[in-house]
Structure 1
Amino acid sequence: MTQDFYCDRVLSGKTEMEKVYETENILAYYHTKPAYEVHIVAIPKKHIPSLTKINESDNDLFNELMNVVRIVASQVELEYGACRVITNLGDYQDSKHLHWHIVSGARS
């Protein structure tokens, strides 16, 4: 069984989080265990295992996700002067649910 914190805890409402931006299909929120001064996660509400596992039928959803990442990253860059946008794959990916980290500042 693969671990999916985002479906199992966040999207189910079992874990409290502070929303940053939300659409019908996408959620961006402050990371519950931030590794940076500013640490936001953007996820699709539909389960997709990772960037390399996106189906052709999910292209519109992926485009919507990337638009939310762009909007949130733009806000972070404007407020803090810089940001990084990161996704992990394979063994680097703790939760097997497509997600992007939008981060700024020093690593905690």
Structure 2
Amino acid sequence: MTDDFYCDEVLSGRTPVDVVIETPTVLAYHHTRPFWPVHIVVIPKRHVASLLALQVEDAPLLIELVQVIQQVATQVVEQHGACRVLTNLGRYQDSKHLHWHVSAGEPLR
């Protein structure tokens, strides 16, 4: 197992997920071990190590990721009144696959 949970588990189908939105290149799903009452993860379907690894040629993928994040965030704000959108880098990034968290509520842990 590598340090890429998203490729190794989610995108391989080994870990089933509750899909929120799926496009040909982006997947948004409910976190398998949520930190907040509402916790949705948005990932590209192809491996990108992090936000810092994006290249100029990744612009279409980044635009689609932001569009999906916007759709998810809109749903969460409509249902819960607010949300946060974040990505982690460096030692804060447990899985070395670009991903965003869209969350609402107080931490569960």
TM over 0.5: yes
Aligned to 2:95: 95
Structure 1 residue 36 corresponds to structure 2 residue 48: no
Q: In structure 1, how many angstroms separate the alpha carbons of the residues matched to 2:23 and 2:87?
A: 20
Aligned to 1:82: 82
Which runs of no fewer than 5 residues in structure 1 stay unpaired?
Answer: none
Aligned to 1:65: 65
> Which deviations, in whole Å up to 9, do the C-alpha atoms of 1:73-100 show, x marking residues without a partner?
0100000000000100000000000000
> Which deviations, in whole Å up to 9, do the C-alpha atoms of 1:54-73 show, x marking residues without a partner?
01111100110010000000
State the aligned residue count: 108
Which amino acid is 1:9 matched to?
E
The answer as to whether partners of 2:2 and 2:8 remain within 8 angstroms in 1 is no
Q: Secondary structure at 2:61's aligned position in 1?
A: helix
Q: In structure 2, how many angstroms separate the alpha carbons of the residues matched to 1:36 and 1:101?
A: 10
> Which deviations, in whole Å up to 9, do the C-alpha atoms of 1:20-62 show, x marking residues without a partner?
0010100000000000000000000010000011011111001
**Structure 1 runs of 4+ off > 2 angstroms?**
none
Aligned to 1:47: 47
Structure 1 residue 23 corresponds to structure 2 residue 23: yes
Which runs of no fewer than 5 residues in structure 2 stay unpaired?
Answer: none
RMSD of aligned residue pairs (Cα, Å) = 1.0
Instruction: Give % identity.
Output: 56
Structure 1 residue 14 corresponds to structure 2 residue 14: yes
Q: In structure 2, how many angstroms separate the alpha carbons of the residues matched to 1:60 and 1:107?
A: 33
Q: In structure 1, how many angstroms separate the alpha carbons of the residues matched to 2:29 and 2:23?
A: 12
Which amino acid is 1:47 matched to?
H
